[in-house]
Each structure stands twice: as structure tokens, then as C-alpha cells.
Homo-oligomer: A and B are copies of this chain.
Amino acid sequence: MLMSSENGQRKKPKILVCNDDGIHAEGLNELAKSMKKIGDVTVVAPLNPQSAMSNAMTLGKPLRIEHVVKNHKLFGYAISGTPVDCVKVGLTHILSSMPDLIVSGINYGSNTAINILYSGTVAAAIEGRISNIPSIAFSLTTYENADFTYAGKFARQLAKKVLKHGLPSRTILSVNIPNVPESEIQGTSITRQGESCWAESMIEHHDPYGQPYYWLNGTMELYDKSLSDDEYAIRHNYVSITPLKYDLTNYSFLETLKSWNIKK
């Protein structure tokens, strides 16, 4: 794929690839491999897994950058921080100019409904958009027996469309891809962030000294009812594509809130 540069010449798009599962994750490797077919790729990813880190960034300690080599070539840069840190470091320090696109993933496990808030994969894409770069988050709907082949191919198709059309202000795409053979994919669905939620509990264990410690535990409960809801769509083997905007203002509530007449 070629894009027009400022001097009118055609050039390959610059693509920054990141994730939250860390620099050694198979999904990152697949995404980078797929993007190299259409662009000049730079990989910047966390040194350690950073699942459920949301938009967290590192303030209290400095960051380190490691050069990671695979097959005797520089594969990418590992950052000792969060997915958001990776994008910030990538844009301010590693890349010499702004990329045309940022892709994040391919995540192990879906990022639908309430999980969108916790996802480091989605957060990395949002961080890219904050710097005005079109960005997409990709997730595969499984933690085990993952096959990223179709997801990598689909990611490339969508990346080309985003490079062509751009994205609206403050908006990214979050894509969830069922972990089934391509022949079982039913199609694509443009979805909203559904309302499915975790039913949570705490598991109490005791250490060898008799002191309790706790693990958060839960199961995702499906509250969604249509193929236009993200979680419902993936459970029916559709690729779910959700446009997410990080302006959280509840505009429809502003006037009611004014009527509360809150004094200083």
C-alpha cells in the first residue's frame, strides 16, 4: 500500500504496532508480520505482560527501553511500563516522525462491553488517537489454543480501510475476532459497547504464616441481546467492530444536572 507524502511522492505508510500482552506475545508477532505487508513497521511493546492495565501510565519511576532481537534482526523495542507508556515513548522518543497508523494487539482474550474500560490493548489505541493518529485495537476471543492467522489477515484489511478513510475526532476502532477457522466466521458486525458485566467474587487463601490473601474472580455475564452488541456478536462468530470515542461526557444529562441548582 502506498500513500502520498508531502512532496507528492508515494510512500509506504508508517505503522506503530503495540500491545498489552508484552513484546514476546504471539499475537503481537502476528500483527507485526501482517502489517509489514502494507507498511513500514515499528514495534514498541511492554517488557512484561500488562493485561487489565487500562490507561495507566508510569509516573513514580523512570522507564527503560530494551532492544529486542529476533532472527538476528531488530524486532522491536520493549518498554518497562504500561501500554500507554509504550505509545508515549514510541511517539516522543523512538519514531523520528508521526506514524500514519497505530495498531494494538492482537490481544489474547476479548475486549468487549465493560472490559473495554480495563483493557490495555484498547488504551494503547486510545493513546495513539490522543496524538491524532488513527488507531485500531485488535483482540482474539480466547486465552488458549489461539490461532491468530485469520485475525492477522482481517487486521490488514481493516488497517487499509482506516488508512484510506481516516477516523473521526477522538475515535478509535476496537475489533474483536472469534477464535474459529475462517470458514466458521459468519460475517462482520458494526457494534456498540454492550452492557455485559462481570459477576465478581473474592477467593480467600492463606499463606504459610496463616495470613489471608485474596484473588479477584468472576465470570462475564451476557446481558446483550443483538448482533449490534459487541459481546453478543462475537459469541455468534461475527467479527465485532466498535467505534469508541473517549469523550465521556454524558451530554444528554447536562441540562438535568443544571436544574439541580448546585450552589458553590
Contact = CB atoms under 8 A, between A and B. Distances in A.
A82 to B, nearest CB: 8
Contacts of A239: 264
Contacts of A51: 59-60
A68 interface: no
A75 interface: no
Interface string A60-72: 1011110000000
A250 B244 contact: yes
B59 A52 contact: yes
A73 interface: no
Interface stretch (A5-13, A25-33, A113-121, A219-227): A113-121
B253 A243 contact: yes
A263 B188 contact: yes
Contacts of A123: 54, 117
A213 interface: yes
A126 interface: yes
A159 to B, nearest CB: 11
B244 A92 contact: no
30 contacts: A52-B57, A52-B59, A53-B56, A54-B84, A55-B117, A56-B56, A56-B118, A57-B216, A62-B215, A63-B216, A65-B212, A88-B202, A89-B214, A154-B264, A157-B262, A158-B262, A165-B260, A168-B252, A173-B257, A187-B264, A188-B264, A190-B254, A193-B248, A239-B264, A241-B257, A241-B262, A242-B249, A243-B253, A245-B250, A245-B253
Interface of A: 49, 51-60, 62-65, 82, 84-85, 88-89, 91-93, 114, 116-118, 123, 126, 130, 154, 157-158, 161, 165, 168, 171, 173, 182, 185-188, 190, 192-193, 197, 200-202, 205, 211-216, 239, 241-254, 256-258, 260, 262-264
